[in-house]
Every structure is written in C-alpha cells, then in structure tokens.
Amino acid sequence: MIHLCSDQITVFQSIIQQTNSAVVVSAGSVLISDPAWLPGEIAEIAAYARQPVGRIPPRLLFTHSDFDHILGYGAFPGSNVIASKGLKQHPNKKAVIQEIREWDNNNFFSRNYPMEFPQVDMPIPADGAEFPFGKTRLRFFLSPGHNMDGIFTLVEEPGILLAGDYLSDFELPIIHYSYQDYVDTLRKAEKLIIGGQVRLLVPGHGKVTQDPMEMKRRLKVAFDYLKQLEDALSRKDETLIQCLSEQFAFPSAFTKVCHETNVKIVRQALFGRKRG
Ligand SMILES: [Zn+2]
C-alpha cells in the first residue's frame, strides 16, 4: 500500500507491522530500502521500482539485519546492495534466515524467490561515508543500539532520513544490543533533525513525517522513556517499571519481551553485571 508518493520518493507501507519500504529516485538512479513483507507487497515494490528508468539496476539498502527488514532480498536479483559493514559480517546469518522461514511457515506462506541473507556490495564502515546518487548524495551514519548493525541513510537532496527501527510514531525504543549505543544513535538523529537536514523522516515502522515538530516530539518521547526507565531502575521502583511496560502500543507477548530486554540491557549498562 502506498503511504507517501512524491517525485523523489514513494513509501510503501506493509499491512504487517506498518513496515516501511522506500523507493527513492534521482536522475535515473533508484534506491529501494527494506522491501517487505508479503510476497504480493514485495512484487508491487519491484514492479514500481522498475518503472522510472529500467536501465540502471536498482540499489538495495538494508537499514539493519532484523529479519523483517531483509526478507525481500531474494526478490531483487542483480541489485547492488548497501548495508553496514556489521551486517556484511553478521555472525549468524543462518539464524536470521531461519526466523524468516519460521514466520512464513507459521503463516503458510510460499515465496517465489530464494530466501538468502543479503550479500553486501557496498559495506558502510563508519559515520560520514558518502557517495553520489543521481543528482544528489547519500550520506551514512552507523546506528547501533536497537541491534548491532544499523545504518541511517540521509538522501541529501531533498533531505530524506531512512532511519530503520528508530523514531517511529508508535513504537517505544526497543534495545536489543546496547543502551549507550542507542542513546548515541538518537543523538546523531537529533543533530541531523535540529540542524534542519531532515525534511522527511522515514522510520522502519509507522507514519513518515515532514513536520520538524513531530520529529522533535518523537525524539522527546524516546529520550523521556529512556530517562524514566533509568530512574525506575535506579530507584528500584517496580511500580514505575511495570507502568513503563504498559506504555507499549499493541501490547503482546512480543512487547513484553521487548520491555524485559530493555530492562535487562539498561540495568546492565547502569550497574554492570554484578548487581544486574
Ligand atoms: Zn523492524
């Protein structure tokens, strides 16, 4: 389903987990990020991405290696793949593919393309890497914290930030990897947003926004949640910890695990292993 359409970008939003896939176009170059979820939705994105030029194979961008973001890879053979160096060196690619198979099997899904972990052609090693894209440039920033191998991509003109699993309008921070990295990554996004470089924010899940106030609101929600979680853990305030677990949208077994993982990782960052 098309969520946003302009000259330079079309955002498709899956009915599964409101996952966003973007097709960015500049002077004949095409970039597709995280094509997802259902086979028909991915086919729609592939057909759309072929339209604008047809000559230059699209580039595929993966914001991070969570299975919901890489499951469309096999539907775009011959594409040039951009992702972080961390994703290229992922230590357990088989496990990620197994998660996709599990999900597909649970939902009786067949896909008409091979299920493989992305082979990365352009690994992004560090903050500030950039290269030309059509008439504009892509700039990359590592964004670990949610997981270990995220990247932000800034399409300089017109100022699109492909943010992966940060700054959703409904999803609280989910920290699977590192609390300190998560905070540092939010600070990077804040710098870009406050600096006026982001005119369209595309999160991995949820609504896109062009409104600077809304971008700042999302940053504040994330920072406030993390601060409250820190305070609750410092004071051993079980009531507040419980209260924070209930603030997740779409409460489920999944959000319960997300909350428990956040508690574990933030507690470990604050107090180390001994008191964890
Ligand atoms: Zn995701």
Three-class secondary structure assignment of the chain: CEEEECCCEEEEECCCCCEEEEEEEECCEEEEECCCCCHHHHHHHHHHHHCCCCCCCCEEECCCCCHHHHCCHHHCCCCEEEEEHHHHCCCCHHHHHHHHHHHHHHCCCCCCCCCCCCCCCEEECCCCCEEEECCEEEEEEECCCCCCCCEEEEECCCCEEEEECCCCCCCCCCCCCCHHHHHHHHHHHHHHHHCCCCCEEEECECCCECCHHHHHHHHHHHHHHHHHHHHHHHCCCHHHHHHHHCCCCCCCHHHHHHHHHHHHHHHHHHHHHHHC
Question: What's the pLDDT at 52?
Answer: 56
Structural domains in the chain, sorted by start: 2-275 (3.60.15.10)
CA of 237 to the centre of ligand 1 (A): 30
CA of 69 to the centre of ligand 1 (A): 6
CA of 19 to the centre of ligand 1 (A): 7
CA of 234 to the centre of ligand 1 (A): 29
CA of 40 to the centre of ligand 1 (A): 19
Question: What's the pLDDT at 211?
Answer: 97
Question: What's the pLDDT at 50?
Answer: 80
Question: What's the pLDDT at 276?
Answer: 39
CA of 235 to the centre of ligand 1 (A): 31
CA of 205 to the centre of ligand 1 (A): 6
CA of 270 to the centre of ligand 1 (A): 26
Tens digits of pLDDT across the chain (276 residues): 787 777 899 999 999 999 999 999 998 899 999 999 999 999 999 998 886 555 677 899 999 999 999 999 999 998 999 999 999 999 999 999 999 999 999 999 899 999 999 999 999 999 999 999 999 999 999 999 999 999 999 999 999 999 999 999 999 999 999 999 999 999 999 999 999 999 999 999 999 999 999 999 999 999 999 999 999 999 999 999 998 998 899 989 889 999 999 999 999 999 986 443
CA of 86 to the centre of ligand 1 (A): 17
Residues within 5 Å of ion ligand 1, judged at the Cβ atom: 66, 68, 165, 204
